[in-house]
Amino acid sequence: MLEIKNLMVFFENALAINDLSLEVHRGKIVGVLGSNSAGKTTLMNTISGLIIDMKKKEDRKGGERITVLGEIRFEGEDITDTKPSERVKKGIVLSRERHPVFPDSTVEENLKIATYLRKDPQIKKSFEFVYTVFPRLKELRKRKAGFCSGGEQQMLAIGMALMTKPRLLLMDEPLLGLSPAMQQDLIRAIKEIREEGVTILVTEQFARPLLPIIDRGYVIENGTLILTGTGKELMDNPEVKAAYFGL
């Protein structure tokens, strides 16, 4: 479904992603694991196209020069130079890290804003789906998003991504800053979302809760792919154990 070939991203002279190739197949959960500064967020921004926007902005004010080389294909189509808004229309939706929501709108309004692109009559069904995946959001419907807790905002951010009816959902560090109990809730939700036929690409530092549910995992370090395998294989891998479980 998504195919990345020889991707290289430079921020000025620093190499953020080094010759990375990965594939995401339909209906699977694919995990990208790595510590801080491994290039996870950059990878997500590149796939969602946000980096094109960042690049333009930086070029205009003469800031950092961002260079993106390589090829990104979505369902056989080259989208390397496609604008981020066009990519959303194609079904690539990113839920960014640190749960960005509109703090002055209520939870329900936030979800409504996310349906902006959709004209189909099934919006109501999507609302129900989001509310069944995250029952907590239904209770908080009328509360302003800025006053929700971090975990609730994270749910809302993912809910907003779901409202756009993604075919490929990109989740950037969804477990960031959540308690272990909350993490388990979210993991369950991710599984439910996959059952709806949404392909998921998720980046995370906390490999332990995530590894059991992912179909395929890529471990990156300093922008370079160092290891790949199914979730089960990675769990048994001594290197991953040492690096991510502290065993």
Partner 1 sequence: MSVRYRKERLDRGIKARCEDIFALSSYREMLYLLLPRVLPVIALLSLPLLKGVVGLYWEKVLVVTCAIALLALSWDLMASVGLVCLGQALFFGAGAYLTGFLNHSFGWPPFLTIPLGTLGGALFCTLLLLPVLRLRGIYFAIVTLTLPLLLARFIETTKILGGNVGMSGLSPLPGIWFELYVPVVALLICLFGFRRLINEDYGLVLQGIRDNDRAVMSGAINIYKLKAQAVFIAGVAGAFAGAFMTHYYQFVGMPAFALDYSILPLTCAVLGGVGSFAGPTLGAFILVPLSEILRAFGTLRVVFYSTILIICVVGLPEGIFHYIQRKYHQFERLVEVG
β-pairing, 92-95 vs 14-24, is unpaired
Tell me which of 8, 123, 176, 227 binds partner 1, using CB under 8 A: 8
CA distance 116 to 109: 11
By the rule CB under 8 A, 11 interacts with partner 1: no
Letters for 174-213 (x = contact with partner 1 by CB under 8 A, - = none) are ----------------------------------------
CA distance 90 to 83: 11
Is 61 or 119 the residue whose CB approaches partner 1 more closely? 61
CA distance 93 to 112: 16
- Give the E-state strand segments of the chain in sequence order: 2-11, 14-24, 29-33, 66-74, 77-78, 92-95, 168-172, 199-204, 216-221, 224-229
Handedness of CA 40, 44, 45, 49 (dihedral sign): positive
By the rule CB under 8 A, 19 interacts with partner 1: yes
Q: Least CB distance from residue 80 to partner 1, whole Å?
A: 13
Q: Least CB distance from residue 51 to partner 1, whole Å?
A: 14
β-pairing, 92-95 vs 216-221, is unpaired
The footprint of partner 1 on this chain (CB under 8 A) covers a number of residues equal to: 13
Range 65-124, binding partner 1 (CB under 8 A):
65, 67, 69
Is 15 or 227 the residue whose CB approaches partner 1 more closely? 15
- Which tokens hold the place of 8? 């290289």
Span interacting with partner 1, options 63-71, 93-101, 171-179, 186-194, rule CB under 8 A: 63-71
Q: Enumerate binding residues for partner 1 (CB under 8 A).
A: 6, 8, 10, 12-13, 19, 60-63, 65, 67, 69
